[in-house]
Every structure is written in C-alpha cells, then in structure tokens.
Amino acid sequence: MASDTGLHLSAATYPGLEPACAAEMRELLSTSVTSVVEEPGVVTAELSGTETLPHYLARVQCALRVFIRLVRADGATMDELAAAVAAGLDGPALSRLLSGGGPCTFRVAAKVDGTGAVVRDAFERELLRIVKERLPEGRFSADLKAPRIIFFCQVMGDACHFGIDAFVDDIAKRDYKLFAHRASIGGVLAASLLRMVGYAGQGSLIDPFCGCGTIPIEAAYLASGAPVNGRKLARSPLGDLIRYGGPSPAATLAERSPSAGRLPAIHASDHDVSCIAAVRKNAKAGKVDGIVSSGRNDAAHLGAKHDDGSVAFIVSDPPQFSKATDHRRMERLYGDFLDEAWHILIPKGRMALLMHGTPLAPLIKKAGLVIVSDHTVRIGRHFTEERHVIICEKR
C-alpha cells in the first residue's frame, strides 16, 4: 500500500501499562510507524503503510484490544460521546475499510473507565443505537453471537476513542490458558511486566511463584517470536490489510533448536505441584513447552535450583498480604525470597514484582536490591483495582 495511509491503529491497555504497549508497537510495527502517542489506557500509532501490520497483530501481547481508530474526541457527557461516534461513522475511513457491497453483521463493545461519569452498559446501548442509525440498513445488521466486525469504543476520562476492532475474538484471553490458577494474572499484564523489566528474549528468566505459568509462557512467546494471536488473526475482519504470512509457532521454535544454542532459558517454579502440572499443560497447549522448563521449588530456597549470579531476570506475581494471612510468616517468606534473589541475580540483574500495595521497600533494601521504579497500574473490568509494579535491580 502507498505511504500516507491516514490509518491510526490504537491499542487499549490497562492504565499504567502504556509505556510497555507503546514499546511493543514501535518494535513490531517498525518501519510502518510515523508516530506513537500515549494517552491514559490507549496508545495510538499513525501508520505510513501496512506492511508490518500483520506482524504486529500476530504477535501483540500488551493490548486488551487493537482497533483501527475512526475518531478521537473529548467529551464527558453522553451526548458529546454520541456525537463523536457519529462523526467516526460518517468519516471516509470507514468506507475504505469496509469496501464492497456484501451484507455485513456487527456488534458493539465498549471499555469504560470506572472512575468516570459514563456507565458502560448504558453507553453500549446508546452506542448500538447510533451505529444502527448511521449504517445502511440493507447491508448492515446487528449480530451479538457471530459478527463479522466489532465497533469498539474506549472511554477514559474525557477522551473517547472509537473504531473497528482488528479481531472478532478476545485477544486478552489466551488460547493456551486451559488450566488457570484461581489467582493467576492475565497475559496482557504478564507480557507488560516483561517489557517493563527490560526483558527482550535474551538472558535467563525465572518466575518463582508461577501459578499456572502465564509469565513464563508470555516470555516464551516474546523470546521466540511465535504468533500468540495466530488463530484469532485468521478471523480478523480487516481482510487484505492483514494477510499474515509469518511462521507458525512450530517453525519459529525450530529455528531456535537446542543444537543451535539459541533457546532462551525460561524457568517456572512453585511449591504447589498442581501449579507445575498446569504450567506444563498450558505450555504444551501454547506450543512453547520446548522453551519453558518447570519444577517444584520453594521461593525461599532458590539457591537449591539456581547458581549464584546465574539469573538475569526474575518476574513474578507473588502471594499477597491480606487480613487472613500471618504477617510475620509472610515477612519471613519475602525476606528469605529477596535474599535468595539477590544471590542468584547477575550484576545489574532485574526483578519485577506485581504487588497489591504490600510495603516491600524495607525488605527490598535490606536484601541489598535497589528499587528502580514503582508503577501504579489500574486493572479489572472497569480499571478500578490498583496494583503496583516494583522494578528493582542488583547493584
């Protein structure tokens, strides 16, 4: 396609994870990107071409949704948001994306900041009404179960981003996650943690509180370049824009054969044997079982499995303090874990921990680690649950 496409590709993510999402966009879209703009919960790239778009859509891990943006507008009231959506439907970009005269089914979806004044369910109903009114009735019809396209709208504060979803399937739900731990984090958050800590597929990585293995498996996809969204991409409504011709997971992993010495070292461990079983099954389902190793181990005794100065990255979602937990016992666990982490990390090695507000700073400093950053992230269906991403380093 010629340059100056006028297309804007937006990725919706959790507020606080925009830098990771933007870094992923720049890396995977590479030469097709003119500019990347970060806003709360949304990152938008202006595209000069679509050559690398299939590559990005196949591999994107840090986005809850990816959509071709039709309009971006400011407005806190329902009427202002409705006017913005109507303008997007009337613009030239929609006719370019949906060329052809055949019948087309659709549904609408919205993601709304729970701290704002807009109510998601009410806004979705209004969104559906507007779309029905603006689209030609003879060609377009609503279908909630099997739509060809999804009109998506993200409302964060006063900003409204409206467009056509690049997928009809939920890319935030990973196909490999067949066996889930009750407290496991999602793939989007796990992949973002990896990018925030600086992991790019090189250097050994461990997750000592692995649960069902989301973080190690996401690391394997990032390291291998295997398409995490390969199956879902085949059902994308964007047609000729995204004819993906990239390698399959099996072909990608074959290039990183053990004999070639290019397999990254990614290890998952947990004290619960049922978690280890879940990791192995999920890694096999995701076709990355050749990369992710796993085994039972106590986080307070990491040195029994890993030599001093042998690990480049530790990324984990550890158990959290709560009213029901024994705080002294938890402090001992964290103290032993952080001390072991200091020993096995290489100089300048980094660790990322997802915390629920637990005051770890004194224990981290006591272990000899330096806190590099403490990010606040808002997750959950309405972005109302706060988490902290603590990045620390061995110096």
Q: What pLDDT does 2 receive?
A: 33
Structurally, at CATH architecture level, domain 187-228+248-394 sits in 3-Layer(aba) Sandwich (3.40)
pLDDT at residue 98 tops 70: no
Q: What pLDDT does 4 receive?
A: 41
Q: What pLDDT does 243 receive?
A: 55
The arithmetic mean of pLDDT across residues 262-285, rounded, is: 91
Tens of pLDDT, residues 289-325 = 999 999 999 999 999 999 999 999 999 999 876 656 6
Q: What is the mean pLDDT of the chain?
A: 86
pLDDT at residue 241 tops 80: no
Tens of pLDDT, residues 178-211 = 998 777 899 999 999 999 999 999 899 999 999 9
pLDDT at residue 252 tops 70: no
pTM: 0.90
Tens of pLDDT, residues 337-370 = 999 999 999 999 999 999 986 678 899 999 999 9
DSSP result, 117-165: S--HHHHHHHHHHHHHHHS-TTTEEE-SSS-SEEEEEEEETTEEEEEEE
Q: Can you say whether residue 143 is alpha, beta or left, with left for phi > 0 and alpha for psi between -120 and 50 degrees?
A: beta
Tens of pLDDT, residues 101-157 = 678 889 999 888 876 666 778 888 888 888 888 887 778 888 988 898 999 999 888
Domain residue spans of the chain: 7-165, 187-228+248-394
- Tokens linked to 386: 């706060």
Q: Shortest CA distance to 22 belongs to which of 53, 45, 52?
A: 45
Taking CA atoms, 70 is separated from 7, 88, 116, 194, in Å, by: 8, 5, 23, 31
pLDDT at residue 214 tops 80: yes
Same fold, 7-165 and 187-228+248-394: no
Q: Which fold has domain 7-165?
A: VC0802-like (3.30.2130)
Q: According to the per-residue pLDDT averaged within each range, which of 1-5, 34-38, 250-254 is highest? A: 34-38
**Please, which pLDDT band fits residue 176 given cuts at 50, 70 and 90?**
very high
Tens of pLDDT, residues 1-30 = 233 457 899 999 999 999 999 999 999 999
DSSP code for 240: G
**Please, which pLDDT band fits residue 333 given cuts at 50, 70 and 90?**
confident
**CA angle 132–41–356, rounded 5-degree value:** 130
Q: What pLDDT does 262 receive?
A: 57
Q: Shortest CA distance to 315 belongs to which of 218, 175, 383, 229?
A: 218
Q: What backbone phi and psi angles, to 5 degrees, belong to 317? A: -115, 85
pLDDT at residue 248 tops 60: no
